[in-house]
Amino acid sequence: MTWDTIVGLEVHVELATTSKIFCGCPTLFGRPPNTQCCPVCSGFPGALPVLNQQVIEYALRVCLATDCTINSLIRFDRKNYFYPDLPKGYQISQQHQPIGRGGKLVITTDNGDKAIGIHEIHIEEDAGKLIHDPQGKHTLVDYNRCGIPLLEIISRPDLNSAEEALDYLDKLRRLLLFIGVSDCRMEEGSLRADVNVSVRPTGSKVLGTRTELKNMSSMKAMALAIAYESRRQIKILTEGGRIRQETRRWDENEKRSFALRIKENVEDYRYFPDPDLMAIRINDHWIKNTRELLPELPDAKYQRYLTTLDLTAYEASILTSHPALADLFEATVAICGRAKDVAGWIMGEWLQECNQRACRPQDLKVTPEKLARLVRLLAEGDITRGTARQVFIQMIDNQADPDDYVHRHNLRMIRDIKTIDAAIDQAMAAHPRSVADYRAGKNKVRTFLVGQAMRVLQGKADPALLNRRLLEKLNTPD
C-alpha cells in the first residue's frame, strides 16, 4: 500500500512594528529580561490595551498579498488559559472575526505550480518566555516578548510532502520580507511554524488523525521533522496501530519527535470578545490604499528577472530571496545596465563577503552607485576580476571610490604586448624546469606559469592576452 502525507502549517510571524501591539513598549530582540515591558503588556491590574494601528496596516498587507478576503469589521477576542508566560491569564487574539480568510499562496513543485489554500489569517499578541534555572530550582519569566504583535497564518492541509512544506514556508517568508512586515528570522523566533501531519492511503479522501509538531527552529529541522513524523505514522498504521492526536516536540539533537503531555480533553479557551477594545471597520478605501502601496511581490519579480532581464532561474531565485538583494540588484542595474554582470557580482563576491563577515547583505556599506562603477570597470575590461575583488574589499572597508582607487594605485589592466611579453620571459627564465616539463607534454604546468607571469605584473595583465602570448612562446622552441 502507498501512503499520502498531508501537511498543514500554522505559521506565527512577529510583525516588525517599532512598538508592541497594545502599548508603547519597544519590540527589540535580545534585550535584558523585563526591560521592554510596562503595566499594559505585563498584565498589571487596571492596565488597558490600546491597539497599535500599524499592526492592522501590516496584517492588511499580508492578507492582500495572499488574496485573502478581508473582513470589513474585525474584533479581538480573549483566549483564556493559564500559563506563567501569559500575565493576563488570557491572550488577546481573534477568533470570531479575524482579519482575513480564504487566501492562497502558490508554490513550485516537481509537477508545476500548486496553489496552497490559506484558511485564515488573524492577529494576536505574543506571550513571554520562561527561562529555566540550570540547577532546576526555579523558573523565571521574561515579559519582554509579551505583546509583540503576531500574525497567525493557517494553511489548509494542501501540502503533501516535507519539500512542499519547505517551499511553502520559503515562499511565505519571501513574501513577508518583501512586503516589509517582518524580518522572518526563525533562529530568533520571529517566524515560527507549527506543523500538522497526517497520513492516509493513496486515493483515500478521508483525513487521518493528525499530530502537531512544535519547536522546529529552522527550515531544515522542519523538513526533517515532517519526514520523520510521516514515517512514524505510516509504520504505526502498517503495523495495525492507531495514531493518537497529540502534540509532539521536535528534538533537534536526537533528530526525532517526542509526545508532549497528551491532552485528555480538548482545551477549551472560552473565547469571547474583548470588551476593552473596540471593533475596527476596514473600509474599501483603506484596502485600496494599502493595495496601492504594496511593492512588487517576489513571484512577479522572479518572473520579470527571467523574462526581461534574462537571468537564469537560479539567479532570479537567489536575488528574490531577500529584498536587500533585490533592491541592491535593481538599483545597480538601473545605473549601469549589465544585469547579468551585476547578478554575478552580487551572488558571487557580495554574498561571499557577507558570509565571511557573518553579516546581512544590507550591512555591506557599498552604494549601488559605486557597485555599478566597479561592475562597469570589470565588464569593460579596465580591470581584472582579481583587481576588482581587491578594489571591492577597499570599498567595503575604507569606503574607497572604485575609479579613484584604480587610478591612484595604477590598477588598470595591462594590455601592452611588450610589457606582457617581458613578464612572460621573466617568468620562463625563472622557471626553466617548468618550461621543460610543459614542452615534455605536462600541459598542467601552464597554469603555474600564467600565475608566475601575472605575479610579475601584480595581477593586472589582461588574462586572455597573457595566456595567448605564453602559449605562443611555449610552443615556439627557443
Q: Which residue in 231, 263, 270, 442 binds other proteins (CB under 8 A)?
A: 270
Distance between alpha carbon 37 and the CA centroid of its chain, in Å? 29
Does residue 464 belong to the site contacting other proteins (CB under 8 A)? Answer: no
Task: Scan residues 272-301 and list those touching other proteins (CB under 8 A).
Answer: 272, 275-278
Parallel, antiparallel or unpaired: strands 247-251 and 211-214: parallel
Choice between 73 and 313, CB closer to other proteins = 73
Q: Which residue in 268, 284, 397, 478 binds other proteins (CB under 8 A)?
A: 268
Choice between 139 and 352, CB closer to other proteins = 139
Choice between 132 and 439, CB closer to other proteins = 132
Nearest in space to 108 (alpha carbons), one of 37, 194, 167: 167
- Which ranges of 12-103 does DSSP label H, i.e. alpha helix? 53-65
Does residue 39 belong to the site contacting other proteins (CB under 8 A)? Answer: yes
Choice between 87 and 368, CB closer to other proteins = 87
Per CB under 8 A, which region of 43-51, 64-72, 407-415, 437-445 contacts other proteins?
43-51
Task: Using the structure block, give the residue that is written with the C-alpha cell 512586503.
Answer: 179
CB 271 within 8 A of CB 78: yes
For the bound state, the minimum distance from the C-beta of residue 244 to other proteins, rounded and expressed in Å, comes to 21
Does residue 361 belong to the site contacting other proteins (CB under 8 A)? Answer: no
Task: Scan residues 124-143 and list those touching other proteins (CB under 8 A).
Answer: 141
CB 333 within 8 A of CB 309: yes
For the bound state, the minimum distance from the C-beta of residue 279 to other proteins, rounded and expressed in Å, comes to 11
CB 71 within 8 A of CB 97: yes
CB 92 within 8 A of CB 49: yes
**What is the DSSP code (8-state) at residue 18?**
S
The burial of 239, by beta-carbon neighbours within 10 Å (0-12 exposed, 13-18 middle, 19 or more buried), is given as exposed
Task: Scan residues 84-123 and list those touching other proteins (CB under 8 A).
Answer: 84, 87-90
Q: In sequence order, what are the beta bridge partners of 273?
A: 77
Choice between 272 and 314, CB closer to other proteins = 272
Please count the residues of this chain forming the interface with other proteins, following the rule CB under 8 A: 29
For the bound state, the minimum distance from the C-beta of residue 150 to other proteins, rounded and expressed in Å, comes to 20
Choice between 26 and 43, CB closer to other proteins = 43
Choice between 89 and 241, CB closer to other proteins = 89
For the bound state, the minimum distance from the C-beta of residue 8 to other proteins, rounded and expressed in Å, comes to 22
What is the Cβ-side half-sphere exposure of residue 294, based on CA atoms within 13 angstroms? 23
Task: Scan residues 44-83 and list those touching other proteins (CB under 8 A).
Answer: 44-51, 78, 80, 82-83
Choice between 61 and 88, CB closer to other proteins = 88
Per CB under 8 A, which region of 106-114, 212-220, 264-272, 433-441 contacts other proteins?
264-272
Choice between 244 and 270, CB closer to other proteins = 270
How far apart are alpha carbons 167 and 288 in whole angstroms?
A: 29
Question: How many other C-beta atoms are found inside a 10 Å radius of the C-beta of residue 318?
Answer: 18
Parallel, antiparallel or unpaired: strands 272-273 and 77-80: antiparallel
**What is the DSSP code (8-state) at residue 414?**
B
Nearest in space to 353 (alpha carbons), one of 398, 396, 383, 385: 396
Phi and psi at residue 143, to the nearest 5°: -90, 5
Residues engaged in binding other proteins (CB under 8 A): 39, 42-51, 78, 80, 82-84, 87-90, 141, 268, 270-272, 275-278
